[in-house]
Amino acid sequence: MADATTDERTADGQPALKRVMGPGLLLLFIVGDVLGTGIYALTGQVAAEVGGAVWLPFLVAFLVALVTAFSYLELVTKYPQAAGAALYTHKAFGVHFLTFVVAFAVMSSGITSASTAARAFSANFASVFELDLGDGIGITLIGLAFMSLVALVNHRGVGESVKANVVLTCVELTGLLIVIGVGVWALGGGSGDFSRVTEFDTGERSVVGGVIAATGLAFFAMVGFEDSVNMAEECKEPRRIFPRVLLAGLVATGVIYVLVSISAIALVPADDLSEGDTPLLKVIEAGAPGFPIGLFGVITMFAVANSALINMLMASRLVYGLSRERVLPPLLGRVHARRRTPTTAILFTTALAFGLITFVGAVPALGGTTALLLLLVFTVVNVAVLVLRRDGVDADHFRTPTVLLVIGALACGFLATPFAGRPTEEYRIAGILLAIGVVLWFVTVLVTRRTGGRPASFDPQNLSGERPAGPKN
């Protein structure tokens, strides 16, 4: 039998991607992809919505993510190819414009996620170096400077390998385990107030309404698992290993998030935890005053910095791929002659991030918009599984119980509506981003027709090329 890592070729005769990821590396990739800015930056904002029971929205968000993960499992084992949601949408509905909107929504979620990380980086930077910048122009300027640095690294062409992702995962995981350890220490020493974990403070909302609103925000911390399907062509035996590895990775991160949120609220009251953008730094200060807070701040900065870098790498490559497929203007597909990086796509995505950091800025709005965009994508994916049931394949694959597909579609769809307590601002941000994409799409179509050409056949598998590994949220 030919060596699968060297002799496999695609249908068009091109060499296939090298299959190097076994169960261990795939598990670390998934855990590292989910861990990131969400839990580091939004724990306090979730507490502001629900009070001491801050762990409950994270648990509910985990369950919704888990149901959607089952949908991805059926699709990735049925079609073990890269391109993720765009590919599944295209196979299910065959509508190029819908495929484009889904792809652009994924790109936009990367930019809003990176902007969230930039704001969190700024807040932690100011805390570590004891800079009195308040919440205004100083934090914004640091965020813009940080995003400029990310753009320069992106332009230079630095991509994170799977081995680098292992290191990043260990750093991020270490920070969260420190928080859990501090919570356990406080419990043993009697210094924490664990009675707060059952207290609800939802303001004018009912308990159910408060939990739903907080879940919509906490969902930002659970996204990232969907990126793993883009690694299907680089996994060994994806149909066999994906189900158990993806589920194990999600369960592990879900348990970590619940334990972190319990530790946080036991050591810091909800009102204090919700102030500012550095909630976990407050937890360490309260539970372990002797711990070098600067070290933990650096860990946090490292975690959110890599979230921003990977998301901007993904977003710029996706814009480049859309341009290459002639569904966005050709200008966005230009490549630097020496660096071989998509220069104009990097500038375009960075400009969008600058606008978000400058005119939105607030972590909850940016994180909530990321969750909103991906909830819309997940709704489409859940429906796509049902549609693709009529498309048989000559291979054994994971089959998700139909009831879970329906629950996933309804849950994600509901959490994306105003009935889930989402602020109007999130819809405005998401709408502006998607409107920019639609305008560019129409411009491309008009220019193509005016010059006598016609749009190319849209192949979603060519959207992003080689995708770097790393955290999503």
Give the count of beta carbons closer than 10 Å to the beta carbon of residue 370.
Answer: 31
2 pLDDT above the threshold of 50:
no
Angle at 464 between CA 461 and CA 466, to 5 degrees: 95
pLDDT of residue 270: 94
Top-confidence residue, 309 or 267: 267
pLDDT of residue 86: 84
DSSP 235: B
294 pLDDT above the threshold of 80:
yes
Enclosing H/E stretch for 388: none
Top-confidence residue, 246 or 363: 246
pLDDT of residue 434: 95
Judge contact between 233 and 80, C-beta under 8 A: yes
Percent of the chain with pLDDT over 90: 43
Domains observed in the chain: 23-462 (1.20.1740.10)
Contacts 24+ apart (CB under 8 A), 201-210: 201/50, 201/51, 201/52, 201/270, 202/49, 202/50, 202/51, 205/421, 209/421, 210/49, 210/50, 210/51, 210/421
Give 7: exposed, middle or buried? Use CB within 10 Å, 0-12, 13-18, 19+.
exposed
Residue closest to 133 by CA, chosen among 8, 11, 278:
278
pLDDT of residue 338: 77
Top-confidence residue, 298 or 33: 298
pLDDT of residue 471: 46
Q: Which residues contact 45 (CB under 8 A, 6 or more apart)?
A: 217, 274, 363, 364, 367
Lowest mean pLDDT among 24-28, 173-177, 195-199, 286-290: 24-28
Lowest mean pLDDT among 17-21, 77-81, 177-181, 374-378: 17-21
pLDDT of residue 267: 94
Lowest mean pLDDT among 34-38, 54-58, 171-175, 430-434: 34-38
* Averaged pLDDT for residues 324-341: 82
- Give just the sign of the alpha carbon dihedral 232, 235, 236, 239: negative
Top-confidence residue, 457 or 364: 364
pLDDT band at 320 (very low <50, low <70, confident <90, very high): confident
pLDDT band at 111 (very low <50, low <70, confident <90, very high): very high
Q: Which residues contact 128 (CB under 8 A, 6 or more apart)?
A: 293, 294, 297, 298, 301
Region of 142 on the Ramachandran plot (φ > 0 left; ψ -120 to 50 alpha; else beta) = alpha
Q: What's the Cα-to-Cα distance from 316 to each of 155, 290, 312, 338, 440, rounded to whole Å?
A: 10, 42, 6, 18, 15
Q: In this predicted model, what pLDDT tens digit does every residue of 296-317 receive, in sequence order?
A: 988 888 888 878 887 888 788 8
pLDDT of residue 8: 54
87 pLDDT above the threshold of 60:
yes
* Averaged pLDDT for residues 115-136: 83
Percent of the chain with pLDDT over 70: 86
The C-alpha atoms of residue 391 and residue 85 are separated, in whole angstroms, by: 17
157 pLDDT above the threshold of 90:
no
* Averaged pLDDT for residues 384-403: 89
pLDDT band at 6 (very low <50, low <70, confident <90, very high): very low
Q: What pTM was computed for the model?
A: 0.86
pLDDT of residue 189: 80
Q: Give the phi and the psi of residue 235 in degrees, each rounded to 5.
A: -105, 145
pLDDT band at 363 (very low <50, low <70, confident <90, very high): confident
Top-confidence residue, 157 or 283: 283
161 pLDDT above the threshold of 90:
no
Q: What integer best gives the mean pLDDT of the chain?
A: 84
DSSP 337: T
456 pLDDT above the threshold of 60:
no
The C-alpha atoms of residue 328 and residue 313 are separated, in whole angstroms, by: 18
Residue closest to 164 by CA, chosen among 330, 29, 275, 40:
29
pLDDT of residue 349: 95
